[in-house]
């Protein structure tokens, strides 16, 4: 089934962009770099203009340099004679992020790092045109920021400079684990004053982000006790401070994890997304806090949904809520009552929203297009951008919701993609794509990515199923907690029950099922290849967990692991029970050929987790097992070459072991992907097309 890239792919793509009509082609791995996603939408205070970023992935196939995706800046008119006209303001290599309009709506601020910059700095560009101008560079990269209403003061988050660089140049590079003393503070400085010096405004703990009130007299700061990622997840609270003095007027104690937060227009209240308690796995509950007293009220605690974004709309709160695999835009009153549910197309998934003077812009995607910008009113939602017009000439598989009853009667849902046409005799071979977290969920939108297969697997004759097993978000807090204190129990039984249901429905071939996933999905894939090996003919595990005991000792989130997953410390829970819920314990049973992949710099799930499973299977069985490391990558591949390599290996492993004639004795595919010849052929094709 595996397909090598052909010149026709590039030729067809070139014809699509030239406006000529070509016959529909299927989606291939080589199309992935063409997929562009809109994001970071922001609307000017007067509602006249919107700005957003667009990802522009590097394309190794056509000879781009390796690196992360570039992000370009686009501006769109919201009002006036030429409404919704789109102009690309910045399109060079590099990342543009953190978009903010000035109070008068005439200037757009953003962060970037250009060739002459030592650190990520603040830039601005006039909406009337002209070049972007650097406005401020600190001694370290700036994080969150805000510009005062009069444009004279910049507030920003940053750490102080590391003064040991000279010693490091001499070879003294030793460091103490988890004892970094340089915490991020909130600073203030006069903007555009070369003589001004930054002054610390707030230094309690490690500052992650903040919001400036509309009147500019208050700031709400999110602070954790230390700079450890574990404290960022589990220990952040909010502090309301005076912008002149930095004195704290109120503290909002967050009961669990903290998400986004926004000041009301009068500055008297803060809308917050957070976890309902310390054991809540995510930040999907809408809350509201009083800025004078810090009193906090939970508004949507028991709703069967997960709110992913909020913004104030007048005196009410606009919320983007995910409900199962679908989404809704809901306007809540400050007492939690629903004022309005907006009319949105059923085939899109809303991701985020921003409001300016009544104008609402949202980011949304669907099964047929990646993330794009939409306008939203009470009566309709309209798509405004189409940066992936080439997809109209590609044959895309249909996507549908497939629900089933788990063995204990629990209703579980997921999303099914399958090739067009009649199901072949015996059913399609299946790739089961398991999401991570498990505090995450699949929505009925664009699901194709470098590690999630989707359309390019369908083009090779596979069905792909994306289950929202128990522990997933999107169905309320209680459902998201159902996996707790039961590693690899009912949550992974749901995966088997879903596969069985697909087989019973006549959709898939039960003997030709592969499993893949990253992080917690990697754990599921490792578990599927060992403890549940009789159910899977192939497995591809990415940054997965193989040993729950050593994972606790090597991860950077032990408290999060304890509070929202295991609910007990290892020494409280019985060490042996944790070992028995670890794939290494079952490695001797493994009959499923497994490809294991990991970023060498992963701190969330240490690379040793993959090494442990590789070694355990290698010495205890004759089952095919391969371990691939990605230097410079962490908990997921960010650079183009590593992503391309991953996609090719994923499909080649599935092609080898989900083949109708494959057995556990089938030799592993060659490690060499023939990348040099592959890139050379595509370079030649590009030259022939005049690119």
pLDDT in tens, 392-405: 999 999 999 999 99
The tokens describing 10, both together, are: 């590039």
The domain total for the chain is 2
Last residue within a domain, chosen from 117, 136, 155: 136
**pLDDT tens for each residue of 269-310:** 999 999 999 999 999 999 999 999 999 999 999 999 999 999
Q: What is the pLDDT at residue 12?
A: 41
Exposed, middle or buried, 174 (CB in 10 Å: 0-12/13-18/19+)?
exposed
391 to 27, 49, 386: CA distances (angstroms): 9, 28, 10
Distance between CA atoms of 568 and 573, rounded to whole angstroms? 6
| CB contact at 8 A, 88 and 72 | yes
Residue 175: is its pLDDT beyond 90? Answer: no
pLDDT band at 20 (very low <50, low <70, confident <90, very high): very low
373, HSE (Cβ side, Cα atoms, 13 Å): 27
Distance between CA atoms of 625 and 595, rounded to whole angstroms? 6
370 to 88, 92, 226, 363, 485: CA distances (angstroms): 19, 22, 37, 10, 36
Q: What is the pLDDT at residue 495?
A: 98
Range of the domain at 98: 35-136
Average the pLDDT over each of 85-89, 259-263, 621-625 and give the range with the smallest value.
Answer: 85-89
Distance between CA atoms of 110 and 214, rounded to whole angstroms? 19
* Domain assignment of residue 481, yes or no: yes
Average the pLDDT over each of 432-441, 502-511, 585-594, 681-690 and give the range with the smallest value.
Answer: 681-690
* Domain assignment of residue 290, yes or no: no
Distance between CA atoms of 260 and 249, rounded to whole angstroms? 20
* Domain assignment of residue 434, yes or no: yes
Is the alpha carbon torsion for 457, 66, 70, 557 positive or negative?
positive
* Domain assignment of residue 239, yes or no: no
The residues pairing with 353 across neighbouring beta strands, listed in sequence order, are 362
Span 315-326, average pLDDT: 98
Last residue within a domain, chosen from 136, 160, 176: 136
Residue 438: is its pLDDT beyond 60? Answer: yes
Q: What is the pLDDT at residue 573?
A: 74
Q: Which letter does DSSP use for residue 586 in this model?
A: G
Q: How many CB atoms lie within 10 A of CB 661?
A: 5
Reduced to 3 states, what is the DSSP secondary structure of residue 205? coil
Q: What is the pLDDT at residue 167?
A: 87
Q: What is the pLDDT at residue 676?
A: 84
Reduced to 3 states, what is the DSSP secondary structure of residue 512? strand
Distance between CA atoms of 659 and 429, rounded to whole angstroms? 8
Q: What is the pLDDT at residue 536?
A: 98
Percentage of the chain modeled with pLDDT above 90: 88
Average the pLDDT over each of 78-87, 141-150, 411-420, 665-674 and give the range with the smallest value.
Answer: 78-87
Span 145-166, average pLDDT: 93
Using the structure block, give the residue that is written with the tokens 């010096």.
197
Distance between CA atoms of 466 and 528, rounded to whole angstroms? 15
Distance between CA atoms of 449 and 218, rounded to whole angstroms? 41
**pLDDT tens for each residue of 636-660:** 999 999 999 999 999 999 999 999 9
Q: How long, in residues, is the chain?
A: 691
Using the structure block, give the residue that is written with the tokens 């007990």.
568
Q: Which letter does DSSP use for residue 423 in this model?
A: P
Peptide bond into 438 cis (omega under 30): yes
- The continuous run of DSSP H or E covering 233 comes out as helix 229-234
* Domain assignment of residue 263, yes or no: no
The residues pairing with 373 across neighbouring beta strands, listed in sequence order, are 363
Last residue within a domain, chosen from 111, 136, 161: 136
Span 63-87, average pLDDT: 89
Residue 5: is its pLDDT beyond 60? Answer: no
**pLDDT tens for each residue of 542-571:** 999 999 999 999 999 999 999 999 999 999
pLDDT band at 678 (very low <50, low <70, confident <90, very high): confident
pLDDT band at 687 (very low <50, low <70, confident <90, very high): low
| CB contact at 8 A, 137 and 145 | no
Residue 21: is its pLDDT beyond 90? Answer: no
* Domain assignment of residue 86, yes or no: yes
| CB contact at 8 A, 439 and 471 | yes
Q: Which letter does DSSP use for residue 124 in this model?
A: E
Dmax (CA) for the chain in angstroms is: 77
The tokens describing 598, both together, are: 């990991």
Q: What is the pLDDT at residue 18?
A: 31
Spatial CB neighbours of 308, under 8 Å, sequence gap ≥ 6? 273, 284, 320, 321, 322, 351, 352
Per-chain mean pLDDT for the chain: 93
Q: What is the pLDDT at residue 590?
A: 98
pLDDT band at 78 (very low <50, low <70, confident <90, very high): confident
| CB contact at 8 A, 539 and 595 | yes
Residue 576: is its pLDDT beyond 50? Answer: yes
* Cβ-count burial 575-609 (b if 16+ within 10 Å, e if not): eeebeebbbbbbbebbebbbbbbbbeebebbbbbb
The long-range contacts involving 90-96, CB below 8 angstroms and separated by at least 24 positions, are 90/125, 90/132, 91/56, 93/67, 94/70, 95/68, 95/70, 95/71, 96/53, 96/71, 96/72
By C-alpha distance, which of 410, 412, 439, 437 is closest to 284?
A: 439
| CB contact at 8 A, 332 and 319 | yes
Q: What is the pLDDT at residue 129?
A: 83
Q: How many CB atoms lie within 10 A of CB 668?
A: 14
The CATH code of the domain that includes 472 is 3.40.50.1820
| CB contact at 8 A, 137 and 198 | no
Distance between CA atoms of 587 and 523, rounded to whole angstroms? 13
Residue 10: is its pLDDT beyond 50? Answer: no
* Domain assignment of residue 578, yes or no: yes
Span 93-111, average pLDDT: 96
Residue 406: is its pLDDT beyond 70? Answer: yes
| CB contact at 8 A, 494 and 412 | yes
Q: What is the pLDDT at residue 6?
A: 32
| CB contact at 8 A, 445 and 419 | no
| pTM for this model (two decimals) | 0.93
Beta strand 625-630 pairing with 594-599: parallel
Residue 663: is its pLDDT beyond 60? Answer: yes
* Domain assignment of residue 215, yes or no: no
Reduced to 3 states, what is the DSSP secondary structure of residue 360? strand
The CATH code of the domain that includes 44 is 2.120.10.30
By C-alpha distance, which of 190, 189, 184 is closest to 202?
A: 184
């Amino acid at each position: 089934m595996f397909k090598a890239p052909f010149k026709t792919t590039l030729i067809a793509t070139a014809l699509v962009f030239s406006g000529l009509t070509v016959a529909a082609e299927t989606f291939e791995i080589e199309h992935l770099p063409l997929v562009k996603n809109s994001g970071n939408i922001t609307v000017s205070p007067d509602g006249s203009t919107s700005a957003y970023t667009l990802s522009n992935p590097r394309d190794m196939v056509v000879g781009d340099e390796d690196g992360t995706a570039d992000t370009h800046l686009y501006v769109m008119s919201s009002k006036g004679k030429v409404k919704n006209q789109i102009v690309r303001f910045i399109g060079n290599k590099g990342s543009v992020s953190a978009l903010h309009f000035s109070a008068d709506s005439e200037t757009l601020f953003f962060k970037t790092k250009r060739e002459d910059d030592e650190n990520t700095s603040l830039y601005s560009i006039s909406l009337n045109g002209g070049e972007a101008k650097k406005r401020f560079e600190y001694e370290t990269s700036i994080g969150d920021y805000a510009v005062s209403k009069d444009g004279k003061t910049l507030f920003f988050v940053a750490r102080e400079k590391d003064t040991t660089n000279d010693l490091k140049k001499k070879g003294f590079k030793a460091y103490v684990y988890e004892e970094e003393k340089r915490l991020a503070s909130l600073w203030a400085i006069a903007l555009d004053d070369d003589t001004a010096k930054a002054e610390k405004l707030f230094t309690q703990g490690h500052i992650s982000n903040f919001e400036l009130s509309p009147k500019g007299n208050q700031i709400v700061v999110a602070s954790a006790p230390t700079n450890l990622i574990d404290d960022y997840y589990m220990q952040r609270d909010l502090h309301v401070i005076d912008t002149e003095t930095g004195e704290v007027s109120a503290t909002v104690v967050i009961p669990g994890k903290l998400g986004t937060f926004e000041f009301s227009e009068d500055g008297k209240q803060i809308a917050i997304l957070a976890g309902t308690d310390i054991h809540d796995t995510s930040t999907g509950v809408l809350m509201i806090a009083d800025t004078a007293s810090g009193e906090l009220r939970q508004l949507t605690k028991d709703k069967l949904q997960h709110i992913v974004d909020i913004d104030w709309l007048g005196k009410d709160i606009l919320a983007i809520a995910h409900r199962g695999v679908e989404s809704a835009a809901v306007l809540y009153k400050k007492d939690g009552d629903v004022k309005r549910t907006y009319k949105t197309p059923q085939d899109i998934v809303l991701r985020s929203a921003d409001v300016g003077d009544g104008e609402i812009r949202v980011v949304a995607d669907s099964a047929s297009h990646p993330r794009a910008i939409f306008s939203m009113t009470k009566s309709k939602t309209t798509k405004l951008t189409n940066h992936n017009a080439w997809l109209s000439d590609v044959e895309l598989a249909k996507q549908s919701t497939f629900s089933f009853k788990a063995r204990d009667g629990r209703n579980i849902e997921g999303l099914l993609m399958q090739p067009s046409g009649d199901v072949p005799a015996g059913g399609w071979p299946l790739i089961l794509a398991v999401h991570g977290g498990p505090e995450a969920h699949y929505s009925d939108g664009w699901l194709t990515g470098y590690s999630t297969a989707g359309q390019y697997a369908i083009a090779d004759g596979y069905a792909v199923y994306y289950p929202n097993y128990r522990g997933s978000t999107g169905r309320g807090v209680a459902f998201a907690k159902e996996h707790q204190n039961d590693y690899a129990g009912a949550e992974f039984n749901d995966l088997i029950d879903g596969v069985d249901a697909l087989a019973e429905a006549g959709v898939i071939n039960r003997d030709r099922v592969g499993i893949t996933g990253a992080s917690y999905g990697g754990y599921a894939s490792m578990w599927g290849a060992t403890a549940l090996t009789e159910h899977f003919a192939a497995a591809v595990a990415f940054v997965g967990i193989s040993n729950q005991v050593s994972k606790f000792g090597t991860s950077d989130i032990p408290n999060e692991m304890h509070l929202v997953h295991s609910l007990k410390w290892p020494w409280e829970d019985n060490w042996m029970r944790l070992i028995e819920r670890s794939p290494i314990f079952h490695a001797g049973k493994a009959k499923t050929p497994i490809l294991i992949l990991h970023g060498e710099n992963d701190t969330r799930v240490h690379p040793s987790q993959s090494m442990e499973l590789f070694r355990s299977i290698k010495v205890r069985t004759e089952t095919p097992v391969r371990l691939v490391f990605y230097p410079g990558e962490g908990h997921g591949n960010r650079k183009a070459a590593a992503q391309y390599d991953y996609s090719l290996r994923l499909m080649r492993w599935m092609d080898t072991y989900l083949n109708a004639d494959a057995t556990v004795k089938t030799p592993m595919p060659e490690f060499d992907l023939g990348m040099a010849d592959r890139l050379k052929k595509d370079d030649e094709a590009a030259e022939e097309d005049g690119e």
